[in-house]
Structure 1
Amino acid sequence: MAPKVLVSDKLSETAVQIFRDRGIDVDFMPDLGKDKDKLAEVIGQYDGLAIRSATKVTPTILEHATNLKVVGRAGIGTDNVDKEAASKKGVIVMNTPFGNMITTAEHAIAMMFAVARQIPAADASTQAGKWEKSKFMGTELTAKTLGVIGAGNIGGIVCDRARGLKMKVVAYDPFLSEEKAAQMQVEKVELDELLRRADFITLHVPLTDGTRNILSKENLEKTKKGVRIINCARGGLVDEAALAELIKSGHVAGAAFDVFAEEPAKENPLFGLPNVVCTPHLGASTTEAQENVALQVAEQMSDYLLTGAVSNALNMPSVTAEEAKVMGPWIKVAEHLGGFIGQMTEEAVKAINITYDGEAATMNLEALNCALIAGIMKASSPEVNMVSAPVIAKERGIQIATTRQEQSGVFEGYIKVAVTTEKRERSIAGTVFSDGKPRFIQIKGINIDAEVGEHMLYTTNEDVPGIIGKLGTMLGEHKVNLANFTLGRSAQGGEAIAIAYLDEAMDASVVDALKATGLFRQVKPLEFDVV
């Protein structure tokens, strides 16, 4: 059955057609997003939801979204999506951060020109019949220092355009390496130095706890006299009231803002001040950008629903279509290892330590971690998936450690997981054989070669004669048919383990009967999704 997607905001017909061309059943209702009650009523039918900014994906909407797997936002901002609620629900949230990069960067450059030459005020004056040449004295950009706060995708384009304007560019970005800065031909500096040296400052960072109010009153007072501030990134990065006071005092020569702490901005301390240019969040508002982000979100959502490829997700590691193909068997191994541990563990998990060896260590470890953690948690919470598992693990205070190492044994690669609870530590390792099938290769430090079956029985006992015969006899007496059998032991006379493969799930009464013999230390039926 084809996946079903709802487009509840205004996306281009070309983007909607992409869903159809990819074989996805799509309903295009561009005004539905404004009706939250109607959206809640119908959302349960859909696997995907494509939106812009009008649709609000609230916890209430997500509660009704019983089949929803992915929300795709055509654009970079996802303030209208409750990402925490979506993550807990196991819904991937995607955006399109690259479709409007050039458009937003160009708008920042345009705003810099506008404030440097007082173009909006000069236009209004001239069209009012005045001719005030001396009033609108501007400043050149050539040879001026531009301070770029955030030199990522959009900030990097601004740096490139500014160098084309013969500006000197200094950049503050904790994630910018010296090598990358040299490649971009910009000077990497600390924030205080940028504030001290820049003639123009432009912001290109997301709004996070670390960047909120990055241009605070204190930092604005550190700026060079006559500086001009441009913000086309996110409202809340600048203390607007403090900036207004510094403009009035003459310390700041001007400002150009496309974004505001409160939007839509009906009132703001910057409004009405001399040489302040304001636009209504137009950074992404070009025909090209709107089309690009719509096409991009349709492709991303289609890729995920049809192939499992994840790109530009905010609550899930990215996995390309090629990675999804190669990693498929390894993700299954991770899920099964987690499933084994989860079904065997009855106490609260305190820590999960995962080791990736050889070929497994070259994979996308974030995605493998998500699969493994989800496998552990599904035993007690079947609704958990790869998206929600890390969120729930964090909420429960589970410590997760990952180790990557070169090939260290006879297998080209393997995954080993050790789980710590209040009472014990339990470990298991698995790999992918040449036939592409997952295998358990070690349990409790005991080497074993066990395929993963849908219905399995795991037992441990002291390695003495007669145990296997007794197990087979009792299963036969209870009409439980054995499909296969695998054994392992630590040493002669030491601890032994057995995995029996059954044709169907085993009744609890059989487990009780096996335990009552006193021959087995553990008797645990296990169920796995092997499809």
Structure 2
Amino acid sequence: MAAPKVLISDALSDAAVQIFRDRGIDVDFIPDLGKDKAAFAAIVGHYDGLAIRSASKVTSKVIAEAGRLRVIGRAGIGVDNVDVPAATARGIIVMNTPFGNSITTAEHAIALMFALARQLPQADASTQAGKWEKNRFMGVELTAKTLGVIGCGNIGAIVADRAIGLKIKVVAYDPYLSPERAVELGVEKVELDALLARADIITLHVPMTDKTRNILSAEALAKTKRGVRIINCARGGLVDEVALRAALDSGHVAGAALDVFVTEPATENPLFGHPNVICTPHLGASTNEAQENVALQVAEQMSDYLLQGAITNAINFPSISADEAPRLKPFVALAEKLGSFLGQLTEAPIKGIRITYEGAVAAMNTRALTSAAITGVLRPFLQDINMVSAPALARERGIVVDEIKREGAVTDFESVIRITVIAEDMPRDAAGTVFHDGKPRVIEIRSIAIDAAFAPQMLYVRNHDKPGFIGRLGSILGDAGVNVATFNLGREEEGGSAICLCAVDAPVSDAVLKQIDAIPQVRRVRAVSF
């Protein structure tokens, strides 16, 4: 099997390049390629992986040319330069390195807090201009002040920790911050309005979403204490820049320090030129240590995925560790094949998909298995669907996906996956397991026990358990020149509903299916493929 190939189209460290090579991955390091859109698009289709920083713009047009591409790795946290929906639609994993520059970004926020409190840039410029304006630069002491942290995730938590070490009281607004985690961090969890009313300094550490856009709007700024200071090292657009300028002009906001802006590169901005504003050119991650860390991290992550199937820090897919990947692989195949089987039997619109995990499999990374199951169910209707895009496509179509785990379930098998497809006409269900040989098998259809291995071409027949069916079926297939590889039967009770699932060596034509359907005992027949 040929080694995976990776293209590095932005500047990464030599050590990061060497990681790929040491892992046995072919790598082309062309650090300025991302700046040449035409040349970039022309060769990206030759690679399995793409490692970038911020210069390479991975647009939908670029992705359309990337037929082989399996993973995009962004050395850094922001993926604004990647069309993630387009990548997702093509089944391309998009990874970032959210923790490689966390300390550096947090330290920059703390540095800006000191700079604001003591007007350091303004005092430096004045002094170097030959002035000695000691009385002009009257600062404020940070000890015993209240710092409001909006977003107490990885970076926000580091900022809080450093601030507490400076004897600053920290209040935090974060809907996802648990009370237990707040106690552990030593911060007081509050609602946003309470933070605005109490904080002497506000620092932002949230991603840009529809909910966080302009979280510091004119209305929000009006709720802050007079004399508040604002710091933003997260994302441009979290603060309404025009409203902030007005609040600075009125004196309600004493000062602001910003590392990020709505439009970048920021060559002009409403905040530029104000005497109480400090601006830096998106330097949050700009230290030697951070740049090296994210480069090494993205190289390791991409190598793990290309060689082992491990997924770390993906934007558009659940994480799978290197230890999990080998154990998950046969269950991913089982979930997708079970889903595909039911999807091929379903013609009515699908309203919901329920996946139940019983036994040992319930303790595994079931999010990846659920994605596989959705992929299988919907592939007969959406040919371009893949494990990465499946959950989003299900949501778009209003399909409710339920996941149930029963770790302590008592069954005849160590692990069982059950899938129920809820369609407008009726529900359809099947269950399967993985034997010690690693091969997925069907063990139940419509609550009828059966034991069948999956094969590329199969015939599914629902029938009455009456004499003569097997002979008639065999004769029709034999007369048509269709060889039966395996033949598996199950029934509810003697003389009741029964199921036949057999593997055949060639596709069964519509004409042959009609002959089988005409057998008196047959209730339904379908050809299925995997």
TM-score (norm 2): 0.97
Unaligned runs of 5+ in 2: none
Question: Hey, what does 1:275 align to over in structure 2?
Answer: 276
Would the aligned equivalents of 1:407 and 1:413 in 2 still touch at CA under 8 Å? no
Question: Hey, what does 1:478 align to over in structure 2?
Answer: 480
Would the aligned equivalents of 1:88 and 1:391 in 2 still touch at CA under 8 Å? no
Task: Give the root-mean-square deviation of aligned CA atoms.
Answer: 1.5
Residue 487 (structure 1) aligned with residue 489 (structure 2): yes
Aligned with 1:521: secondary structure?
Answer: strand
Separation (CA, whole Å) in 1 of partners of 2:339 and 2:23: 33
Residue 456 (structure 1) aligned with residue 458 (structure 2): yes
Q: How does 1:91-102 map to 2 (within 5 A)?
A: 91-102=92-103
Question: Hey, what does 2:72 align to over in structure 1?
Answer: 71
How far 1:58 sits from its partner (Å)? 1.0
How far 1:336 sits from its partner (Å)? 1.1
Would the aligned equivalents of 1:7 and 1:28 in 2 still touch at CA under 8 Å? yes
Any idea what the Cα deviations from partners look like across 1:175-226, whole Å, max 9, x if unmatched?
1111111111111111111111111111110011111111111111111111
Residue 430 (structure 1) aligned with residue 429 (structure 2): no
Would the aligned equivalents of 2:344 and 2:380 in 1 still touch at CA under 8 Å? yes
Residue 145 (structure 1) aligned with residue 139 (structure 2): no
Would the aligned equivalents of 1:257 and 1:279 in 2 still touch at CA under 8 Å? yes
Q: How does 1:217-232 map to 2 (within 5 A)?
A: 217-232=218-233
Question: Hey, what does 1:112 align to over in structure 2?
Answer: 113
Separation (CA, whole Å) in 2 of partners of 1:215 and 1:270: 15
Any idea what the Cα deviations from partners look like across 1:412-466, whole Å, max 9, x if unmatched?
3311111122222211111223333212111011111222223322111111011
Residue of structure 1 aligned with 2:417, choices 415, 418, 426:
415
Any idea what the Cα deviations from partners look like across 1:237-290, whole Å, max 9, x if unmatched?
111111111111111111110011111112212111122110000000111111
Would the aligned equivalents of 2:336 and 2:373 in 1 still touch at CA under 8 Å? yes
Residue 369 (structure 1) aligned with residue 370 (structure 2): yes
Question: Hey, what does 2:468 align to over in structure 1?
Answer: 466
Residue 291 (structure 1) aligned with residue 292 (structure 2): yes
Separation (CA, whole Å) in 2 of partners of 1:214 and 1:296: 31
Aligned with 1:121: secondary structure?
Answer: helix
Q: How does 1:119-518 map to 2 (within 5 A)?
A: 119-405=120-406, 406-518=408-520
How far 1:131 sits from its partner (Å)? 0.6
Segment of structure 1 superposing worse, 247-256 or 375-384? 375-384
Aligned partner letter, 2:4: P
Separation (CA, whole Å) in 2 of partners of 1:27 and 1:379: 38
Any idea what the Cα deviations from partners look like across 1:67-112, whole Å, max 9, x if unmatched?
1111111110011111111111111111110100000000000000
Would the aligned equivalents of 1:70 and 1:301 in 2 still touch at CA under 8 Å? yes
Question: Hey, what does 1:5 align to over in structure 2?
Answer: 6
Aligned partner letter, 1:464: K
Segment of structure 1 superposing worse, 499-508 or 148-157? 499-508
Separation (CA, whole Å) in 2 of partners of 1:364 and 1:95: 20
Would the aligned equivalents of 2:472 and 2:519 in 1 still touch at CA under 8 Å? no
How far 1:519 sits from its partner (Å)? 3.8
Aligned partner letter, 1:419: V
Unaligned runs of 5+ in 1: none
Aligned with 2:45: secondary structure?
Answer: helix
Aligned partner letter, 2:418: K
Separation (CA, whole Å) in 1 of partners of 2:161 and 2:499: 63
Question: Hey, what does 1:524 align to over in structure 2?
Answer: 526
Taking only the aligned residue pairs, the percentage that are identical comes to 62
Separation (CA, whole Å) in 2 of partners of 1:39 and 1:127: 46
For residues 46 and 449 of structure 1, do their structure 2 counterparts lie closer, same or farther at Cα, with a shift above 3 Å needed? same
Question: Hey, what does 2:82 align to over in structure 1?
Answer: 81
Separation (CA, whole Å) in 2 of partners of 1:353 and 1:7: 41
Separation (CA, whole Å) in 2 of partners of 1:511 and 1:16: 56
Would the aligned equivalents of 1:141 and 1:167 in 2 still touch at CA under 8 Å? yes
Segment of structure 1 superposing worse, 379-388 or 489-498? 379-388
